[in-house]
């Protein structure tokens, strides 16, 4: 069984990006810049934002974290985004989810210029993904990270049956669109299952490649997986664990102990897909910098 080490691959990617960032700085005197807006004091969001900012600094990018109160109006938030859209030192903009109830998520997504939408959520980027214009868009970072794992581990996907459990706009849908592309390492036959799918295990047991992104701890068990399948666990769930200092432990959507015994390859949680999401955010930010400075 192959353990797919996303942490190690993400470090490789960050090292490669650092070399590019330094080369562009010598050549142009400029560095790529990412601005992250965080609203309120959600502890999980704060951890994610800190990790993103830290990773930016590690590879020499400019990082800016804009902390705004949970009471902020939508008009004020959109004004802040517009200022970043027009700031030439800001190449990527990210608004950390979740947002307060008075904020319309879609309005925020539309407000970010597509060329600075390094999360890949703007309809223009999603549309280009759907029609296969991958060289002209930004791809949502988590699915992008999964594809990069397939590439670097040389996992064969062409002609395989890929079953995706989950249909979110952030993971499930873009993952399906990517796996259907007529490119390597994609070009798979894709089935998408979700909360309204009856007898999900009937589908998951057919999967050569099973991608779990349903947000339910240990949902995928060994009985639901075909022997020899490649299993990608996108889930990050917290369970109570009094043996841990924090009182919590992280688990995925896949029951790792059982499934790892029959899978040919599997990602762990933590240390699998999670680190890749940040690595691909940095990749998208550098790509945005290149495009905005006519360097690619």
Closest CA to 175 of 159, 162, 184, 156: 162
**Catalytic pick among 14, 96, 160, 233:** 96
Please state the pTM of the whole predicted model.
Answer: 0.95
Asked if 172 contacts 164 with a C-beta cutoff of 8 angstroms, the reply is yes
Active site annotation includes 206: no
**Catalytic pick among 14, 52, 128, 160:** 52
**Catalytic pick among 14, 113, 117, 119:** 119
CA distance 239 to 54: 26
Coil, helix or strand for 284? helix
Active site annotation includes 96: yes
The pLDDT value given to residue 245: 81
The pLDDT value given to residue 173: 97
The pLDDT value given to residue 199: 96
The pLDDT value given to residue 239: 87
Active site annotation includes 119: yes
Asked if 282 contacts 54 with a C-beta cutoff of 8 angstroms, the reply is no
Report CA-CA distances (Å) from 250 to 147, 238, 275, 293. 23, 5, 14, 40
Which domains, and CATH codes, for the chain?
28-128 (3.40.50.10860), 140-274 (3.40.50.720)
The length of the chain, given as a count of residues? 296
Going residue by residue through the chain, which has 296 residues, state the pLDDT in tens, using 9 for 90 and above: 999 999 999 999 999 999 999 999 999 999 999 999 999 988 878 888 989 999 999 999 999 999 999 999 999 999 999 999 999 999 999 999 999 999 999 999 999 999 999 999 999 999 999 999 999 999 999 999 999 999 999 999 999 999 999 999 999 999 999 999 998 889 999 999 999 999 999 999 999 999 999 999 999 999 999 999 999 999 999 888 888 888 888 899 999 999 999 999 999 999 999 999 999 999 999 999 999 999 97
CA distance 146 to 166: 15
The pLDDT value given to residue 241: 84
Asked if 58 contacts 18 with a C-beta cutoff of 8 angstroms, the reply is yes
Asked if 10 contacts 278 with a C-beta cutoff of 8 angstroms, the reply is yes
């Amino acid at each position: 069984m192959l353990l797919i080490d996303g942490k190690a691959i993400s470090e490789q990617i960050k090292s490669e990006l650092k070399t590019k960032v330094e080369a562009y700085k010598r050549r142009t005197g400029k560095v790529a810049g990412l601005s992250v807006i965080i609203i309120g004091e959600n502890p999980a969001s704060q951890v994610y934002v800190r990790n993103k900012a830290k990773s930016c600094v590690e590879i020499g990018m400019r990082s800016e974290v804009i902390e705004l109160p949970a009471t902020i109006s939508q008009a004020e938030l959109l004004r802040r985004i517009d200022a970043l859209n027009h700031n030439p030192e800001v190449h990527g903009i990210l608004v950390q989810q979740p947002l307060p109830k008075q904020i319309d998520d879609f309005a925020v997504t539309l407000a970010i210029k597509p060329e600075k939408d390094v999360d890949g959520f703007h309809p223009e980027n999603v549309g280009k993904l759907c029609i296969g214009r991958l060289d002209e868009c930004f791809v949502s970072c988590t699915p992008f990270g999964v594809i990069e794992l397939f590439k670097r581990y040389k996992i064969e996907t062409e002609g395989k049956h890929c079953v995706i459990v989950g249909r979110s706009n952030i993971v499930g849908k873009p993952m399906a669109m990517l796996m259907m592309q007529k490119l390597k390492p994609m070009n798979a036959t894709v089935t998408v299952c979700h909360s309204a799918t009856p007898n999900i295990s009937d589908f998951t047991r057919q999967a050569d490649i099973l991608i779990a992104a349903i947000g339910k701890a240990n949902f995928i068990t060994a009985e639901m997986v075909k022997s020899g399948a490649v299993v990608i666990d996108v889930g990050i769930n917290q369970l109570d664990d009094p043996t841990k200092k924090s009182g919590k432990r992280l688990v995925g959507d896949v029951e790792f102990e059982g499934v790892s015994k029959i899978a040919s390859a599997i990602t762990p949680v933590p240390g699998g897909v999670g680190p890749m999401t940040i690595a691909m955010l940095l990749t998208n930010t550098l790509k945005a910098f290149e495009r905005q400075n006519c360097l690619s």
